[in-house]
Amino acid sequence: MTDFTLLPDLAARALGGGVIAANDEFFAEKENLLRPAAAVFQPHTFGHKGQIMDGWETRRRRPEFEDGDHDWAIVRLGTPGVVRGVVVDTAHFTGNYPEHCSVEACAVEGHPTPEEIAGAEWVSLVPKSALRGDSEHHFAVDVEQRFTHVRLNIHPDGGVARLRVHGTVVPDPRFLTATAFDLAAVENGGQVVDASNRFYSPPNNVLAPGLPRVMGDGWETSRRRDDGNDWIVAQLATRGRITHATIDTSYFIGNSPGSARLQGIDAGAGDLDAPDAWFDLLPRTRLQRDTPHRFRVTTTQPVTHIRLDIHPDGGLARLRLFGSPTPDGLAALGLRWFDLLPADQASAILTAECGAPADRARELAAARPFSDEAGLHKALEGADSLIAARVRSLLGVNPS
Whether the predicted pLDDT of 106 surpasses 70: yes
Confidence tier at 62 by pLDDT (50, 70, 90): confident
Out of 5-14, 71-80, 127-136, pick the least confident. 5-14
Residue 382 pLDDT: 83
Residue 236 pLDDT: 93
Q: Measure the N-to-C terminal CA separation of the chain; round to a whole number of Å.
A: 63
Alpha helices in the chain (DSSP H): 114-118, 327-339, 343-354, 358-366, 373-379, 385-395
Residue 124's DSSP bridge partners are: 104
Residue 149 pLDDT: 95
Residue 224 pLDDT: 93
Residue 167 pLDDT: 92
Under 8 Å between Cβ of 139 and 103? yes
Measure the CA–CA gap between 330 and 179, rounded to whole angstroms. Answer: 14
pLDDT digits (tens, 9 = 90+) for 175-232: 776 667 899 998 888 989 999 988 888 898 899 888 888 888 899 999 999 999 999 9
Confidence tier at 122 by pLDDT (50, 70, 90): very high
Whether the predicted pLDDT of 16 surpasses 90: no
Measure the CA–CA gap between 346 and 284, rounded to whole angstroms. Answer: 46
The 3-state DSSP class for residue 137 equals strand
Which of 15, 61, 22, 54 shows the shortest CA–CA distance to 35?
Answer: 54
Residue 333 pLDDT: 86
**Angle separating helix axes 358-366 and 343-354, nearest 10 degrees:** 130
Residue 374 pLDDT: 87
Residue 269 pLDDT: 62
Confidence tier at 381 by pLDDT (50, 70, 90): confident
HSE-up of 350 (CA within 13 Å, CB side)?
29
Residue 338 pLDDT: 86
Whether the predicted pLDDT of 66 surpasses 70: no
Confidence tier at 270 by pLDDT (50, 70, 90): low
pLDDT, average across residues 324-347: 88
pLDDT, average across residues 65-71: 77
Measure the CA–CA gap between 346 and 144, rounded to whole angstroms. Answer: 55
Q: In whole numbers, what is the pLDDT of the chain averaged over residues?
A: 90
Residue 166 pLDDT: 94
Under 8 Å between Cβ of 301 and 280? no
Whether the predicted pLDDT of 173 surpasses 80: no
Whether the predicted pLDDT of 54 surpasses 60: yes
Which of 229, 234, 207 shows the shortest CA–CA distance to 218?
Answer: 207
Under 8 Å between Cβ of 249 and 289? yes
Measure the CA–CA gap between 321 and 299, rounded to whole angstroms. Answer: 13
Element (H, E) at 381: none
CA-derived radius of gyration, the chain: 27
Whether the predicted pLDDT of 68 surpasses 80: no
Residue type, 153: N
Whether the predicted pLDDT of 1 surpasses 80: no
Whether the predicted pLDDT of 390 surpasses 60: yes
pLDDT, average across residues 102-111: 92
Query: Phi-psi bin for 359: left (phi > 0), alpha (psi -120 to 50), beta?
Result: alpha
pLDDT, average across residues 277-297: 95
Whether the predicted pLDDT of 152 surpasses 80: yes
Whether the predicted pLDDT of 144 surpasses 80: yes
pLDDT, average across residues 330-344: 87
| 47 Cβ contact list (under 8 Å, min separation 6) | none
Portion of the chain with pLDDT greater than 90, in percent: 58
